[in-house]
Amino acid sequence: MPSTAAARFDRPQSARIAITRHAGSVPLALALLVAVLLPLMLPNFLLMQVSTALAVALAILGLNLLLGFAGQVCLAQGALFACGAYTTAILVAQGGWPALATLPAAAAVAALAGIVIGLPALRLGGLQLAIVTFGVAVLTPQVILKFDRLTRGVTGITFDPPAPPAWLPVRPDLWLYALCVAAAAACAVLALRMTRDDSGRALRALRDNPLVATSLGVDLVRARLAAFAISSAFAGLGGGLFAILNGYVSPQSFLAGRSIEILIGAIVGGIGSVSGAFLGALFVVFVPEWTAELSPALGGLIYGACLIAMMLLARDGLVGLARRIAPTVFSLARKVLSTGTAAAAPGSHDNQETSP
Amino acid sequence: MQLLVQQIVDGLAAGAIYAALALALVLIFGATRIVNFGQSEMATFCAFLAWQLCEWGMPVALALSVSAVLAFVLGAAVFQLVVRPVSRASAETVVVVTLGLFLAFQALCLWLWGSDQRTFPALFPAGGWTVAGVRLTANNLGVMGVLCALALSLAALFRFSRLGLGLRAAAADADKSTIVGIRVEAMLMLGWGLASVVGFIAAVLVAPRLFLSPIMMAPVLVYALAAATLGGWTSAIGAVVGGLVIGVAESVGATFLPFIGSELRLLIPLALTLAVLLLRPQGLFGQQTAVRV
């Protein structure tokens, strides 16, 4: 009897170690597999929505880094998203750039804007930064309208989405989807690397105790500005993709609600987790779609209720919830199926983590 | 010159409304160290309740009183159900929760009453006087009168009553207050209820100027946040002064700065907020808190 008890005790632990060792690569590979299979299963309009979700996911991922690792409450992520979208649209429509070439520019412009927002954040506490960035979010559509010579005001900018290259015989929407997947994968890898190496550690130290961190040699100015720059670059890239997907930008797409939506995505998915960003993006893209038929107010109600409920019940979001529930589910499953569960356990865990 | 004086007078009236909402924000911050982003939408909800009661044939004064009581209950209930469980959590968590309140109450208004603009009954007579070429409307004077009464009665409550002493003690040091027999929980609940009533008063002052609609108060919130920051989050006088300053700056700035115009009005409170936070983070009247590490 004691030997079986020991084996029972050992197995989940070794499984857990294996999970942490491969935590980066296995879910990522699974997610890529899902991404490749999706176009085969989904109708066109759903695929476009998934592409939109991926674009939004980039902005959410950026906020995730900022909120989860740097502890900075930036409510202006929608403004940076708009920054990227308008950079792409203006460069394509008025500068005659090829659409793909504008994406790095979109990321760079948003990163610069993010650093400008980050500068006051060096001195402001969490609450004060939230107040200032809330103002920025509300001001965004007004600023777009004000510079109407560049942004064409209320009418917005229309431009042709990029066609797939001649050597690649695919539908245009599939090409756009592939672009989004590539960008999302690149950013996810970058984010994972960043959170696991020294810079991530430095950011977390700054979040938990700035005084101790700086006295241990962490450069607060550099680390925090870098966090803002990278987070904003993600948002800008997402915005650029968003503009390309729609072939159209207008101030209506970048009301204050956009910033709040990105925050909701981050919270629901789980701040401080990369897979959570994608889960959150699916939530904010698809839930309003489904609820709008019933009542226009329902989406807002669900959003509000979700924000509050998440903070009361699961501060680490759906991903965190899944992680906490997973061991309980495993042990239950183990009781039901007394043998052969150890091999299945890590697999089911991965599924839960990478369900987007 | 005449235009300038006129803009200042109009700005003061608008500022009085920002000040009222800022008072509500500061009350809550003083009691629980929380910035309630949902304040404006809770206030809109209560204003809609008042409107609904009027529609059902209740006299305006009675409808406003009943709604004020409901606003108090709402504030206390929100604190008890939603805010108290997270009151010891980090700033990010609390900001997210109050943003959730913002969204939920805005959507609730939209759901119950739709997005149509409604005419709220006027509280003050329509007339006015012209003094030396400057137009003073009864509504503007009335709004400023209400703000004065509100500020004075709150000041009196906090300064001279036993209840006010309890409220201040509970906010200053929860543990020591408990030891001397103050029911801290009840006091905080009372603070949230009071703030909700003050916010409701702000909404009732706004509603006749604009129209009653679910998004009526959202811009006011930006101004009120700026006002509270300018005045200092720990000071009620600061909230009033901050509100008036923001109101005047907005009105004068939008008229005299050609770049700002009426589109970028919101830039003025934002710029003022940022300037204050960078130059004097505790605000004009706030106290700097020193933390021993």
Least confident of A100-114, A336-350, B279-293: A336-350
Residue A308 has its nearest CB partner, among B104, B274, B281, at B104
Q: Alpha carbon A189 to chain centroid distance?
A: 12
Domain of residue A102 covers 25-353
Cβ contact B95–A73 (<8 Å): yes
* A9 within a domain of the structure (yes/no): no
What integer pLDDT is reported at residue A9 of this predicted model? 44
From the options 1.10.3470, 3.40.50, 1.10.1760, 3.30.70, give the CATH code of B2-279: 1.10.3470
Mean per-residue pLDDT, B105-119: 86
Residue corresponding to tokens 């609390």: B94
* Interface subset of A 1-40, CB within 8 angstroms of B: none
* A8 within a domain of the structure (yes/no): no
Cβ contact B82–A295 (<8 Å): no
Three-state SS for A217?
coil
Which of A5, A8, A27 has its CA nearest to residue A330? A8
Q: How far apart are CA A278 and CA A52, in angstroms?
A: 11
What integer pLDDT is reported at residue B18 of this predicted model? 92
Domain total in chain A: 1
Residue A80: pLDDT above 60?
yes
* A184 within a domain of the structure (yes/no): yes
Q: Is the CB of A122 inside 8 Å of chain B's CB atoms? A: no
Mean per-residue pLDDT, A47-74: 86
Contact in structure between A305 and B100 (CB atoms under 8 Å): yes
pLDDT in tens, B44-72: 999 999 999 988 988 888 999 999 999 99
In this structure, the strands spanning B134-137 and A157-158 are unpaired
Q: What letter does residue B257 receive in the DSSP assignment?
A: -
| Average pLDDT for chain B | 86
- Residues on chain B touching A297 (C-beta within 8 angstroms): 107-108, 110-111
* A107 within a domain of the structure (yes/no): yes
* A119 within a domain of the structure (yes/no): yes
Which of B92, B221, B276 would you mutate first to test chain A, the one with the most A CBs within 10 A?
Answer: B92
* A6 within a domain of the structure (yes/no): no
Residue A143: pLDDT above 70?
yes
pLDDT in tens, A258-314: 888 888 888 888 887 888 888 888 888 888 878 777 777 787 888 888 888 888 887
Question: What DSSP string runs through B172-226?
Answer: H-HHHHHHTT--HHHHHHHHHHHHHHHHHHHHHHHHHHS-B-TTTTHHHHHHHHH
What integer pLDDT is reported at residue A23 of this predicted model? 52
pLDDT in tens, A227-252: 889 899 999 999 999 998 888 888 88
Q: At B38, phi and psi to the nearest 5?
A: -85, -5
Mean per-residue pLDDT, A96-110: 87
Q: How far apart are CA B107 and CA A160, in angstroms?
A: 36
Least confident of A196-210, A334-348, B100-114: A334-348
* A14 within a domain of the structure (yes/no): no
* A11 within a domain of the structure (yes/no): no
Q: Is the CB of A124 inside 8 Å of chain B's CB atoms? A: yes
Which of A122, A131, A139 would you mutate first to test chain B, the one with the most B CBs within 10 A?
Answer: A131
The domain that holds A241 is classified in CATH as 1.10.3470
Contact in structure between A85 and A183 (CB atoms under 8 Å): no
